[in-house]
Amino acid sequence: MPHQVPWLIFLLPLFSFILVSFILRPFFNHRPKLGGYVTIAAIGTACVLSFWVVAEVFGAPGHKLEIPDIQWLLISDFSIHIGLMIDSLTAVMLVVVTVVSLMVQIYSQGYMEGDPGYHRYYAFMSLFTACMLGLVMADNLVFMYLFWEGVGLCSYLLIGFWFHKPSAADAAKKAFIVTRFGDLGFLAAILLLFYTTGTFDIEELHGLAIAGVLAGTTLTWVAIGIFAGAVGKSAQFPLHVWLPDAMEGPTPVSSLIHAATMVAAGVFLVARMYPLFEYSEVALTTVAVIGGFTAIFAASMGLVMTDIKRVLAYSTISQLGYMMLGLGTGGIAIGMFHLFNHAFFKCLLFLGAGSVNHSTGTFDIREMGGLRKVMPWTYATFLIASLSIAGIWPLSGFWSKDEIVVSSFANNPILFYLAMITVFMTAFYMFRVIFLTFGGEYRGGASSEHGSHEPHESSRVMVIPMVVLAVLAVFSGWLNVTGAFGAFMGHGEVCGFAEGFFGILTHPLPLISLLLAGLGILLAYAMYSAKWVSAEAVGRAFRPLYTLLYRKYWFDELYEKVIVVRVLVDGLCAALDFFDARVVDGAVNGVGDGTAAAGNALRRVQTGQLQVYVMAIAVGVVAIAVFCYLFG
């Protein structure tokens, strides 16, 4: 394989961004579809090339390709190289990102039809994909951080795509600022690493951690810092608040953010720097605990949300928690395998939600209902994705979720119970959405800029990507039934199930989790379809709990009223303001005032009297003469 191929994977979406934003948008704005075609062509080619790279990586010794570096910066004798790191982890991410992105772009052709910002949308989407591809291929932390921030920027631009809506603008700011808190930790970790080791190169850092040069407290702090970055990007507790609000963007954007780009970056980062975590017990435990807690914490809020996209958002946070739990208790392969499967079914769920919104004009599941008959394709694919996320055998979610459950059972019993309860909750909230959206009778929908009041199946351009993703959501899990995916990731941990495809059903742990998922579905059926139990009555019976969940544990209020207003505005900002007004401005004004005062005093010398000046000249000449005579 020529070395240019991996570069092209990154450069094609970047070129598409440049082409769409600098040529198509200004000069071909009357042909909006053109931008979409360019982006789809670029990402489609990148997708094909990604599969080529995977094939090459699969055949390469150690599942690793050597790509020559290019020198970027030379600062005295220290040089920063631009290089690509193509190993199995990168290869898997390349496939996930390009496939999901391609499906989303195709779907967007239908979803965004008629939007005045069509070219802008595709330009940002291209850039978003390019940044994520750069992030997964970067071989040093500086480069990675660059794309890390690039991904953050693009998510800001896309969440705030409809910036004329104040809620969208606020959500974009929130996403950007909240993740910034995590990025601070990541940046500190990079600087600490460089201070300690003098290198940014990821492979060298791996080597140093494995050799034990990088160890002890430093390693722990570095790992925690990196994890802080991942917590921000992957919306883990306590920085989870931005993701549900990120729903303000167009639905395909949410789909891309939740499946392949933004939030996957955090999990990927931990996986990429995994050797650093492995040698620090504290860091690894932190990852597992935060992940396990986030999984159940977010799932509990997902139980009561009435906005279909918000339910999905909390489910993403919860699933990301699972991935972190998998990384913390199992290893790269287990966490990444869930990311791989989750990307397809979560993308599909969001595309389904977008399709439903397109037809009913609302995201509120209380206003939907009965869509099973009018939107059979959407219903079928959404159902498959829901079964997959709920972990029903033999869909993909089952295989990766049970890997995580099994590994947490072996390592941390408390987290295992949390994960089990989460399985139940996941099944419940997903099927609550299904029964409310697709079951029963149509409850009217709402009017909006999209679609009419009369529900209808979405156009073919939207349905086809959903079908492709549904196929992937069924089969992607089969890659690791016996551990093939884990062997490819090549980190040595045990994964897969020795029992095989059918034998798994005799394994007790997967059986229990299946049972719990089944119970969740049954409860949802009882409450929202058969109405054996009234949902309102349950809500009333547990009023305080319901309010707690519905108000999202008051985290938004806590952050806004206490942290932002009290700590930041009244505390930190007031102190900084004082410093700025008194010390910085004082110094600047002091220089100005001093100069003015000196000038005021000295200008009296200018008397306007010619003879005074001549006198000064004469005295000066005499003084110089005397000086020369005495010292010359």
Write out the residues near another protein by the rule CB under 8 A.
603-604, 606-611, 614-615, 618
Residue identified by tokens 């079951």 is 439
Closer of 579 and 613 to another protein (Cβ): 613
For residue 178, the minimal CB distance to another protein (Å) is: 59
In 3D space, the residue among 389, 398, 390, 274 whose CA is nearest the CA of residue 327 turns out to be: 274
Rg (CA), the chain: 29
Exposed, middle or buried, 339 (CB in 10 Å: 0-12/13-18/19+)?
buried
Going by C-beta distance under 8 Å and a sequence separation of 6 or more, which residues neighbour residue 96? 259, 260, 264, 339, 340, 343
For residue 621, the minimal CB distance to another protein (Å) is: 10
Closer of 505 and 621 to another protein (Cβ): 621
Q: Residue 124, Cβ neighbours under 10 Å: how many? A: 23
Q: Residue 64 forms beta bridges with which residues? A: 87
For residue 628, the minimal CB distance to another protein (Å) is: 17
Closer of 217 and 611 to another protein (Cβ): 611
For residue 592, the minimal CB distance to another protein (Å) is: 20
Q: What does the DSSP assignment read for 104-165?
A: HHHHHHHHTTT-TTHHHHHHHHHHHHHHHHHHHHB-BHHHHHHHHHHHHHHHHHHHTTTTTS
Closer of 62 and 599 to another protein (Cβ): 599
Closer of 164 and 604 to another protein (Cβ): 604
Residues 148, 235, 16, 116, CA torsion sign: negative
Exposed, middle or buried, 68 (CB in 10 Å: 0-12/13-18/19+)?
exposed
Closer of 506 and 609 to another protein (Cβ): 609
For residue 25, the minimal CB distance to another protein (Å) is: 60
For the record, the structure tokens of 266 come out as 């955090």
357 by DSSP, 3-state: which?
helix
For residue 608, the minimal CB distance to another protein (Å) is: 3
Q: Residue 503, Cβ neighbours under 10 Å: how many? A: 11
The DSSP output letter for 442 is -
For residue 570, the minimal CB distance to another protein (Å) is: 49
Residues 5, 9, 13, 18, CA torsion sign: negative
Residue identified by tokens 């290198």 is 199
For residue 607, the minimal CB distance to another protein (Å) is: 5
Is residue 93 a contact partner of residue 269, using CB atoms and an 8 Å limit? no
Give the containing element (helix H, strand E) for 293. Answer: helix 281-302
Closer of 167 and 595 to another protein (Cβ): 595
Closer of 217 and 609 to another protein (Cβ): 609
Closer of 73 and 622 to another protein (Cβ): 622
